[in-house]
Amino acid sequence: MNLYKAINRRRSIRNYGETGLSKTQLDEIEKSVNESRELFSGVSVDAYLVRDGQSLQQDISGIIADYGKVEAPHYLVLTSEDTQKGFVETGYRYEFIVLALAAQEVGTCWIGKGFRDEELSRHVQIPRDQTCTTLIALGPLPAGDNLHEIEDPKRKELSHFLINGDPNCFDEATLKIVDCLRRSPSSLNSQPWRVVLEHGAIHLYLRKRNKITRMVLKDMDRMNQVDAGIGLCHLEVGGRHCWDGAEIKKTPHPEKKGLVYIGSLKGQDRG
Ligand SMILES: Cc1cc2nc3c(=O)[nH]c(=O)nc-3n(C[C@H](O)[C@H](O)[C@H](O)COP(=O)(O)O)c2cc1C
């Protein structure tokens, strides 16, 4: 299964099969994590595979996370520099891993951080210039479960994400790419993405919170940066499939009040 198809099948998995993944599968995941694709060069980001998920759960009080308990056989601990770029990079890089795992019918769930870095000390040595941003729980699906195509995901309508207009004014391929974005996972299913469509480009923005909300909801703000990176990954996968090639870039873009620009999908040979 390719990554495009995986977008339509992926969902967050919160219950896992009793036996974990095989050593070969885990070795493969570890290898792909270390070879993950880069969005911004020079941003300090890492991921560590914790094979014994149970022992991690015992050490981390907040793995119950922001909501809902997720007990998985394995985890990826994601770390980055404590900057907006670091959080966006984390979402972008590791959502490719999430989709690649979904393509192999391996379940995953992003988990917002609800614990201190020190609680991870038995499992991961976090570089001095980094902090743990999020976890990704992973493991086999429970017996009898599978990742089937989701026709109607729990998301807002496509038009909600478009700043300039009516979906009827855009071609089908472009709308399919926006649908890939819409299907991205996001913290608390907040779906904070907005897009401006231009010929051959999709510009991605995040809703801007005011300063007080940003301070009060600091963690939420950080998680939304991760959501933004995840959104860029889905745009890229959609663009490569539906536009015969596309890449993520920072490009000239319209300024939009109340929105922060994140990056653009630029189609090859499209304007
Ligand atoms: C950055 C981030 C943090 C998340 N944190 C949690 C979490 O702590 N607990 C949880 O159960 N789900 C968590 N999720 C999963 C979201 O709730 C989920 O993606 C969203 O509800 C959409 O559902 P879906 O992934 O099944 O499409 C998180 C997702 C993201 C992207």
- Report the residue among 13, 57, 180, 186 best suited for mutation to probe ligand 1: largest number of ligand atoms under 8 A from its CB: 186
Fold that domain 158-267 belongs to in CATH: NADH Oxidase (3.40.109)
Asked whether the predicted pLDDT for residue 62 surpasses 60, the reply is: no
Q: Is the CB of 71 under 6 A from ligand 1?
A: no
Q: How far is the CA of 56 from the centre of ligand 1 (A)?
A: 19
Q: How far is the CA of 214 from the centre of ligand 1 (A)?
A: 20
- The gap from C-alpha 5 to its chain's centroid, in whole angstroms, comes to 16
Q: Is the CB of 184 under 6 A from ligand 1?
A: no
Strand partners, 204: 195, 263
Same fold flag, 3-140 and 158-267: yes
Listed residue (101, 173, 181, 170) closest to 141, CA to CA: 101
Strands 131-140 and 106-112: antiparallel
Asked whether the predicted pLDDT for residue 237 surpasses 80, the reply is: yes
Phi and psi at residue 243, to the nearest 5°? -110, 10
Q: Is the CB of 14 under 6 A from ligand 1?
A: yes
- Report the residue among 11, 135, 136, 187 best suited for mutation to probe ligand 1: largest number of ligand atoms under 8 A from its CB: 187
Average pLDDT over residues 54-73: 74
Task: State residue 214's pLDDT score.
Answer: 66
Residue-wise pLDDT tens digits, 116-155: 899 899 999 999 999 999 999 999 999 999 999 999 999 9
Kindly indicate the confidence band of residue 69, based on its pLDDT and cuts at 50, 70 and 90: low
Kindly indicate the confidence band of residue 271, based on its pLDDT and cuts at 50, 70 and 90: low
Identify the CATH assignment for 3-140 out of 3.30.465.10, 3.10.20.30, 3.40.109.10, 3.40.50.720: 3.40.109.10
Task: State residue 63's pLDDT score.
Answer: 52
Cα distance between residue 47 and residue 36, in whole Å:
9
Residue-wise pLDDT tens digits, 169-227: 789 999 999 999 999 999 999 999 999 999 889 999 998 877 766 666 678 889 999 99
Task: State residue 37's pLDDT score.
Answer: 84
Kindly indicate the confidence band of residue 60, based on its pLDDT and cuts at 50, 70 and 90: confident
Q: How far is CA 110 from CA 31, 119, 206, in A?
A: 20, 18, 19
pTM, entire model: 0.95
Sequence ranges of the domains in the chain: 3-140, 158-267
